[in-house]
Amino acid sequence: MLVITGMHRSGTSFVANMVQKIGAPFGPDDLLGGDQWNPRGYFENIDVIDLNNRLIVGESAGLKGLVDGGRLGFGQRLKRTLGKARYALFPGGGDMAAKGAAHADEMDGLARRLAGCAVKDVRFSLTLPAWQGRGAVERILYCYRHPTEVAGSLAKRDRLPLWLSYRLWRIHVERFLDAVGETPVVCVDYNNFFDDTRRIDETLRLFRFAGQEASREKAEALLAQVIDPSLRHNRADGALPGATRACYHRLEEFHERHDGRP
């Protein structure tokens, strides 16, 4: 699988949209549709997000059956919020690789069904060791966004306090960086797609992830299709808390090293 992931509200659906337009297949199954938070859709396979959620929170947290017409219902949003609170308060969360072994048949079946396909889910940030243990991940596209903007978006969507939003951001980023190991990664910064001096180079990274030939002209044409300044509702402002600032610097260094070039 070609995994696309990152923290919640970090632009993963935005880059998944571009990867799909570039030509990467997203599998034979219907994808989760849009809602008020992501009008263009989430580009997520419902079976994958259901399994990932159960790996994180437990079997009672399955999301299947709560999706109505491709939209996120109240029950689903509530379960998602409670789940995030649970692994924020208990960051150990158990051994993810062992959880993967316990779901071996289900994971192997999904991996076979989605082999060679782009599979997007923010929960891969936490469940990656389980999928790596099954040999299911070919390469990863990791999208991040300035943590202040993420915190502002979570406050609006889930009514989370800033301290919890920053904690959730750090948990996702740190677990991903600690788990990724030698798996090939292309890392993109969501903010760069809205920067005239950086957006072309950032878009070229998406072509490399998708295994497609890239050029400045192709990147410009793609950006013309997808860039909508109104999509960016929150802007980075003010100093970051110390632990979050250190984690963000670590992520920026990771971004510099993982541009998809051979």
* Mean pLDDT to the nearest integer, 25-43: 62
What is the rounded CA–CA span in Å between residue 193 and residue 143? 11
Q: Quick one: pLDDT at residue 66?
A: 41
The pLDDT of residue 69 is above 80: no
- Buried b / exposed e over 189-207, threshold 16 CB at 10 Å, is bbbbbbeeeebbebbbbbb
Q: Quick one: pLDDT at residue 5?
A: 98
pLDDT digits (tens, 9 = 90+) for 75-102: 555 555 555 555 555 444 458 888 889 9
What is the rounded CA–CA span in Å between residue 7 and residue 169? 6
Q: Quick one: pLDDT at residue 54?
A: 84
Q: Which CATH number is associated with domain 2-257?
A: 3.40.50
Q: Quick one: pLDDT at residue 208?
A: 97
pLDDT digits (tens, 9 = 90+) for 102-127: 999 999 999 999 999 999 999 999 99
Tokens 């437990």 sit on residue: 58
Query: pTM (2 decimals)?
Result: 0.86
Q: Which residue has the higher pLDDT, 149 or 94?
A: 149
Structure token pair of residue 22: 């570039």
Band of the pLDDT at 65, cuts 50, 70, 90?
very low
Q: What percent of the chain has pLDDT over 70?
A: 77
Q: Quick one: pLDDT at residue 28?
A: 62
Q: Which of 16-30, 161-175, 204-218 has the lowest mean pLDDT?
A: 16-30
- The domain ranges of the chain are 2-257
Tokens 């891969």 sit on residue: 124
Q: Quick one: pLDDT at residue 96?
A: 86
Q: Taking all residues of the chain, what is their mean pLDDT, rounded to a whole number?
A: 84
135: left (phi over 0), alpha (psi -120 to 50) or beta: left
* Mean pLDDT to the nearest integer, 244-255: 97
Q: Which residue has the higher pLDDT, 41 or 70?
A: 41
